[in-house]
Copies of this chain bind each other. A is one copy, B any other.
Amino acid sequence: MLNFEFKNPTKILFGAGQIAKITAEIPKDAKVLVLYGGGSIKSNGIYEQVTKALADHSYITFGGIPANPEYEVLLEALALIKKEAVTFLLAVGGGSVIDGTKFLSSAALYTGDSPWDILKNGIRTEVGMPFGAVLTLPATGSEMNSGAVITRAATQEKLGMGGPGLFPIFSVLDPTVIQSIPTKQLANGITDAFTHVLEQYMTFPTQALLQDRFAESIMQTLIEVAPRIMANPKDYKAASDFMWSCTMALNGLIQKGVPTDWAVHAIGHELTAAYSIDHARTLAIIAGNHYRYNFEAKKEKLAQYAQRVWNISGEDTDALAHAAIEQTEAFFHSLGIDTKLSQYVSQYEGTAESVQERFIQRGWLGIGEHKTLSPTDVAAIIKMSY
């Protein structure tokens, strides 16, 4: 096991009816900015529960944060925070709203010239404006971690940020919110969470026995609940397991003490930036081919995954590993998630070269578990995924 530091101070409030508890979690004298996305929270009852819980607080609202939270939109919210002397942020939404709120938490206290520098220069946020979250879409784990990814349409960039100041003070996880999520979004959420685990697990073999088993536990649970959730989002028990699995998939726990990869995300973000393909779907496009391309480095772990997660028996490491890749893509297909770029966009020729060029420009000359996957390798993986 590698040396590590772990601290995750986010308070989780889990279960039906827990939104009401935010009353006690936000300081009474706070000036609250409630942030949300496209407005679905106004039709599914969540907005009503939140505003009821804030009845004794001073609050204003800012809606319209899009999927892949857009920098230009966030700048409008930032102006509002400054104008209204906001002191506490409340994200009510999925990963995009929470990520956008994290950017605002950091930017609100940032004293440099341009808040884009936080992203461009990888400035770590030690202290941010305090914020909480009411999660409406399980997927990203943003509700219990200190990372965010922000998109800037003008430059087709999608960049990450983070730091210990960006953990939510609290997050409400109420599984009943899943009832009103469209099937397509549920499929995205399952795929996103599943791939988060793969990124932290599918590396060369290490001896971190517990982390391996925890990662396998999350994947086994997602596989078990996926068909039930897809068939009936009102299945509260399945929704609970799904929601908690998504959070545990990316709250830092399973990545501690082990190498991680994250090449699938690095490449996938480019496809979202270029074609606005849903984040989770870009992961499904890339994951299988990333493992095929890096087969020799990962086949031992792929074989372990085949046996423990997919219950595939056999002795041959290569055969097990190949079967695991096939099973993974079959799982995505079972959710209605396509795994070829050409199934999403008709004009995909040149994608590999343009991403390669972009990586070179940014100086991203080695990604993946060993930081050895070059822009040329990235291009090859993308071509396999056309």
Distance, CA A14 to CA B6, complexed state (A): 8
Among A159-217, those with CB < 8 Å from B are: 175, 207-210, 213-214, 216-217
Q: Which residues of B contact A209 (CB under 8 A)?
A: 221, 224-225, 241
**Per-residue B-contact encoding for A3-28, CB less than 8 Å = 1, 0 else:** 11111111111111110000000000
The answer to whether A257 touches B244, judged by C-beta atoms less than 8 angstroms apart, is yes
CB of B1 within 8 A of CB of A7, answer no
Least distance between A247 CB and chain B CB atoms (Å): 10
Indicate if the CB atoms of B14 and A248 lie closer than 8 Å.
no
Q: Distance (Å) between the CB of A35 and the closest chain B CB?
A: 23
A244 & B13 in contact (Cβ 8 Å cutoff): no
Q: Interface size for chain A: under 10, 10 to 19, 20 to 34, or 35 or more residues?
A: 35 or more
Task: Determine whether A220 belongs to the interface, using a CB cutoff of 8 Å to chain B.
Answer: yes
- Asked if A2 is at the interface of the complex by the 8 Å CB criterion, the answer is yes
Taken together, the copies of this chain in the complex come to 2
Task: Tell me if A142 counts as interface (CB < 8 A to partner B).
Answer: no
Smallest Cβ-Cβ distance to A235: which chain B residue: B207
Q: Does chain B have a CB within 8 A of A256? A: yes
B residues less than 8 Å from A220 (CB atoms): 213
The answer to the question of A370 belonging to the interface, with a C-beta cut-off of 8 Å to chain B, is: no
A6: chain B residues within 8 A (beta carbon): 11-12, 14
Q: A6-B12, A12-B7 are in contact. Are A1 and B213 (CB under 8 A)?
A: no
Complex interface: chain B residues within 8 A of A175 (CB): 1
What residue of chain B has the Cβ atom nearest to residue A21's Cβ?
B5
Any B CB within 8 A of the CB of A218: yes
Q: With contacts A1-B15, A7-B12, A257-B244 known, is A213 near B221, CB below 8 A?
A: yes
Interface string of A221-247 (1 = CB under 8 A from B): 100110000000000010011001100
In this complex, what residue of B is CB-closest to A7? B11
Closest residue of B by beta carbon distance from A236: B1
A273 → chain B, closest Cβ, in Å? 33
Q: Is the CB of B8 within 8 A of A4?
A: no
Chain B residues near A213 (CB, 8 Å)? Answer: 216-218, 220-221
Is A10's CB under 8 angstroms from B7's CB?
Answer: yes
Residues of chain B with a CB closer than 8 A to A218's CB: 210, 213
Q: How far is the CB of A24 from chain B (nearest CB, A)?
A: 11
- Taking CB atoms, residues of chain B closer than 8 Å to A10 are 7
- Minimum CB–CB distance from A325 to chain B (whole Å) comes to 23
Taken together as a complex, chains A and B put the C-alpha atoms of A4 and B10 apart, in Å, by: 14
**B18 near A237 (CB under 8 angstroms)?**
no
Q: Is the CB of A210 within 8 A of B248?
A: yes
Give min CB distance, A139 to chain B, whole Å. Answer: 16
Please name 19 further chain A to chain B contacts, defined as beta carbons within 8 Å, in addition to the given A7-B12, A210-B241, sorted by A numbering: A1-B14, A1-B15, A1-B175, A1-B241, A3-B18, A4-B12, A4-B14, A5-B14, A7-B10, A9-B9, A14-B257, A208-B240, A209-B224, A209-B225, A209-B241, A210-B218, A213-B216, A214-B214, A216-B217
A interface with B by C-beta (< 8 Å): 1-18, 175, 207-210, 213-214, 216-218, 220-221, 224-225, 237, 240-241, 244-245, 248, 256-257
5 pairs from A and B in contact (CB 8 Å cutoff): A1-B240, A3-B15, A4-B12, A207-B240, A210-B244
